[in-house]
Amino acid sequence: MSGILLLLAIVVLALLGSRLFVVVGVATALCFMLWVDGTGSTLDQLGRIVTKMESLSTKNVFLSIPFFITAGSIMTKGGIAERLTELARELVGWLPGGLAVASIVACIVFAAISGSSPVTLVAVGAVMFPALLDSGYPKNFAIGILTSAGSLGCMIPPAIAMLVYAISVQGTAAVDPANLFFAGLVPALFIAGLLSLYAVFVGLSVPGSRKPFNGKRLWVALKGAAWALTLPVLVLGGIYGGVFTPTEAGAVALAAAVVISVFVHADVALAKLPGILVEAATLIGSLILIVVLAFGLNDFLAEMEAPERIRAWVEAAKMPTWQFMLFTNLILIVLGALMDSISATLVFAPILAPVAINHYGIDPIHFGVVFVVNMEIGYLAPPVATNLFVAAALFRQPFGTVAKAILPTLAIICGALLILIYVPTLSLGPLALRDGGPVYSAFPWDGKAVAAEVEAAPAGPPKPLTLEEMMRKAKEQGAAAGEVPAAGAAEPAAVEGAAPAEAAAEPAP
C-alpha cells in the first residue's frame, strides 16, 4: 500500500508538470514518513534533509559548481562561442564534412570553459545549426551531431557531471576531481573522434561540406578567439599544474569570463551583468535543491540497507566482472533515460561504485569515467533527456523529430561506451603516464570476486603429516606439558596417512 501511495504521488506531480526538485522532495519525504521507523517524529526524520544541506555547503567540490555555471552563462550571452566556432571552421573546414567536424571541435573547446552540456549545446548549436543547413547538410544529421557533440560537456573538464560524481561517492569509492578530469580527457576525445569520422562519412555526399583552406582567414579567426582560448588553458592548466584546486578554478573561470566578455570584447554590457547573474542564480538554486533532496533520498536508501542488499544480491549472483559491468551499464542507461542525470548520479553512484570497487576490483577512476559516459547517454536517451528538450527548443523542432535524429550518433556513443568499459587504458593510461607508472591497464575480467571465492572456499581435508612432523609435534606437546621422553623410547612405527616408506623403520647401519 505504501509503495502504491508513493507511485501515485509521483505520477500526479509529473502530470501537473511539477519541477524535478519538487518531485524528488516529495518522494524523499514520503519515503521517510512511510517506511522509516524511528524514535523521533516525522519532523525529526525530515530534519535530515536540512542537515544534508548544511553539510553540503562545506564540500569544497560543490562550491565550484555555481562558479562554473555563472561563467558559462556569461560566456553564452557574449560572443565567445561565435569566435571559437569561427576558429574551428577555419581549422578543419577543408575536410569532407568539415563544418560538422568544426561543430564538434567548437563543442569540445567551449565545454572546456563552461563545464556544462546544455550550455555547450545552446552556445554552439545556435551558431552552427543555421550554418549546417545553409551548407546542404540534412536537417536530422545537423540536429543529431550538434546535440551529441554538446553532450560532451559531461566529460570535458571542468565537467559539472564529474564534480557531482565526486561529491556523491565517499569512502573507498572516493575520487579526486582533478584526477577524474584528467582521466576523462582521452575518452571524451575518443568519442569526439568517432563522431568526427561519422561527420566525414556524411560529408562525402554533401557537395557544400568543404571550404578551401585559407591561412589568412585562419590567422584572423585565431586572433579573434585568442582571449577565449586563454580560458581553457587557464582553468585546466591551473588545475593540472597544481596552481589551484577545482573549486578555485571555478572562481578563476568566472572572473576571467567577466573580464573577457565585459571589458576585452565588450560583448556584454556592464549594465546587463546583474540580470545574467540573476538567471544563473535561478539555475543554481534549482540544482542545489535537487542535490540536497537527492542526498536525503540517499539517507533513506542507507536506512533501508539498500546498498547492503544490492551488494548481497551481486555476491549471490556470482557474476564475472565483465557481466557485472555490462549489466550495470545497461541499468544506468535505462535509469539515465528515465530520470535526470544529476539525480541518477547522486542516488545510484554511492550504491554501485563500492560494489564495483570492493567486490570486483574495478579502479575507482575508471568506474567514475564509465559512469559519467552513461550519464552523457542519459542526456540523449528519451524520454527524460535534458539535451533533447534543449535541442527541441533551440532548433524549433518537435521532440519526436529530435529523438529520431539522435539515433545514429547515440548508437556511436553506446559503441564507444562498450570499448571504454573493457579497455580501461583509455581512462587510466593518461594518469599512469603523468605519474610515471605503466600505461597499460588490463581489465579485471575475473576481478576480486574470484579471489574472494577462493579465499572463502573450504580448505578441504587436512594434508597428512609425515612421520618427522608427527614426532616433532609430539615432542613439542610433551615439552609444553613438562614431560621429557625417555632415552631410547620407542618411536611410533607408523602414522595414519603417512607414506609407506616413511612408516617403515630404517635398518641400523
Q: Which three cell numbers stand for residue 494?
A: 607408523
177 located within any domain: yes
454: which residues sit within 8 A by CB, 6+ positions away?
A: none
30 located within any domain: no
The label of the residue with cell 620407542 reads 490
Successive 10-residue mean pLDDT values, the chain, 509 residues: 69 68 71 61 58 62 74 77 84 87 88 76 83 88 91 81 86 85 91 94 83 87 86 79 76 86 83 83 70 64 66 76 88 77 80 86 93 86 75 83 91 94 92 86 72 43 48 54 44 41 40
84 located within any domain: yes
3-state secondary structure of 37: coil
Tell me how far apart the alpha carbons of residues 172 and 66 are, in angstroms, rounded to a whole number: 27
Cβ contact 156:429 at 8 Å: no
362 located within any domain: yes
Number of domains in the chain: 1
5 located within any domain: no
Which H, E and C letters describe 11-67, residue by residue?
HHHHHCCCCHHHHHHHHHHHHHHHHCCCCCCHHHHHHHHHHHHHHHCCCHHHHHHHH
Per-residue pLDDT, 501: 40
Per-residue pLDDT, 112: 78
CA distances to 258, 319, 336, 339 from 333, rounded to whole Å, are 37, 19, 5, 10
Q: How far apart are the first and last CA of the chain?
A: 89
Per-residue pLDDT, 140: 93
Give the structural domain span for 290: 60-435
Per-residue pLDDT, 57: 60
Per-residue pLDDT, 301: 65
pTM above 0.75, yes or no: no
Per-residue pLDDT, 144: 93
CA nearest neighbour of 427 among 238, 189, 196, 242: 189
Exposure of 70 by Cβ count < 10 A (0-12 exposed, 13-18 middle, 19+ buried)? buried
Cβ contact 253:68 at 8 Å: yes
Per-residue pLDDT, 389: 78
7 located within any domain: no
Exposure of 463 by Cβ count < 10 A (0-12 exposed, 13-18 middle, 19+ buried)? exposed
Per-residue pLDDT, 39: 45
Q: Provide the Cα torsion 318, 322, 326, 331; round to 10°.
A: 40
3-state secondary structure of 508: coil
Distance of CA 143 to the CA centre of its chain: 25
The label of the residue with cell 540580470 reads 275
508 located within any domain: no
231 located within any domain: yes
Per-residue pLDDT, 307: 61
CA nearest neighbour of 106 among 229, 240, 200: 229
